[in-house]
Amino acid sequence: MKRIVITGMGVVSPLACEKEIFWEKILNGESGVGDLTKLDSSNYKGATRAAEVDLEKDYNNPELLKHFKPYGKAVTYAAAAVDMGLKDAGFGKRFTEKNNYGIILGTTNGNQDIVERIVDKWSLEMEHEDLTTEAAKTLTYFRPIELSASIAKYYNLGGTNMVIPTACAAGNYAIGTAYSMIREGRSSIIIAGGADPFTRSCYTVFYRLGAMSKDNCKPFDQDRNGMVVGEGAAVLVLEELEHALARGAKIYGEIKGYGLACDAYDPTAPEPSGSGATLSMTNALKSSNVDKNSITYVSAHGTGTKANDAHEINAMSNVFGEDIKTMYVNGIKSMLGHCMGAASALEAVTATLSLHYQKVPKNRNTVKIDEAFKTHFLIQPSTEIENKVDHVLSNSFAFGGNICSVIFSKYDSK
């Protein structure tokens, strides 16, 4: 049976755009959440918090940024993450020989910022012949497939290129799909993750839903009052083990399995009992052949909304029973905001680094777990957790009831 390992990572986040700096800030419990600056905050009464990326400041590759700028921010963020991930995996240049290497990216909004750019800059009432060449060309970049296809072309990736639009679970869907394809022998390397930029439409949707916090994201806390919209991108370089060993690659961790499910309940609200999330976690444990008692911690979806956190707690209780009381549950959206299709990809990087460095990040803003929950878990990890991180179960939930759970494990050469 083929084993799939992680040999590289790339990060574009509100905290940092380099994985080691990102990891240091995550461990320190720093926050990338601040005041909204990329939109006119006067349009949003009382809810003007955001987790924004400053790629030009935090990432130094002007050639790449110039090349991808016309494609929009989703593609640019993804391309920057891929650049860093490939270099981290030991690939310093674009591939020149034919290969079956692939790229699979998840997203919520795709290239929606392209549409907003066009609406803001050009009148839709223009006659066709009056449209500038720039406007006409920009329109072609709206296609969601540009997210992976443009990067595949730039790096000469000859295998699968695919975009998975399963909203806020899309990053995990991409990672799970890549894992399956490598396991089946369809490719030896697939870059997988997610990307989403900050857009007016996305921010406005969550504002109108009343789902946004007026201060900070507080996963599972008694006083939680909503999520914070974020942005970013992250990828893992997934590789078949023998291929990685043959080229002497550094191995950060391993993917053991994943599970999919659907609430089949409501376009936006989670099913209260957690049935879909219960099935997803159960499927992940079954496919990975990892005993639930071996899970060191759960990397939670943890949006900080009343309904979503309650739904996730119910699901974890269904899966782990009384053992949840002695488990650690981590929610890094308290530091990153909710980065949409990039969220679970960023959480995948965090889980992998946790396994590699044998440390578990703390929760931020979670002071007292909601008394309404039928059971509680550990707010902070015990000192015994360090150097005993074996398996991490990472959850991601999305609108439409899309759910994906992935199990990341410490690499064992045996």
Q: Is 338 a catalytic residue?
A: yes
Give residue-wise pLDDT tens across range 252-271. Answer: 999 999 999 999 888 888 89
Give residue-wise pLDDT tens across range 210-249. Answer: 999 999 999 999 999 999 999 999 999 999 999 999 999 9
First to last CA, the chain: 14
User: Which pTM value belongs to this model?
Assistant: 0.95
pLDDT at residue 125 in the model: 53
Alpha-carbon distance of 328 to 335, in angstroms, equals 17
Select which of 217, 301, 391, 404 is catalytic: 301
Whether the Cβ atoms of residue 347 and residue 299 lie closer than 8 Å to each other: yes
Alpha-carbon distance of 219 to 225, in angstroms, equals 9
Compare 124 and 183 and report the one with higher pLDDT: 183
Among 1-5, 108-112, 158-162, name the one with the lowest average pLDDT. Answer: 108-112
Select which of 202, 311, 338, 356 is catalytic: 338
Q: Which parts of 103-199 fold into alpha helices (H)?
A: 112-121, 133-140, 146-155, 170-183
Give residue-wise pLDDT tens across range 97-112. Answer: 889 999 999 999 888 8
pLDDT at residue 141 in the model: 81
Over the chain, what is the mean pLDDT?
A: 92
Alpha-carbon distance of 360 to 351, in angstroms, equals 8
Fold classified for 4-409 = Peroxisomal Thiolase; Chain A, domain 1 (3.40.47)
Q: Is 128 a catalytic residue?
A: no
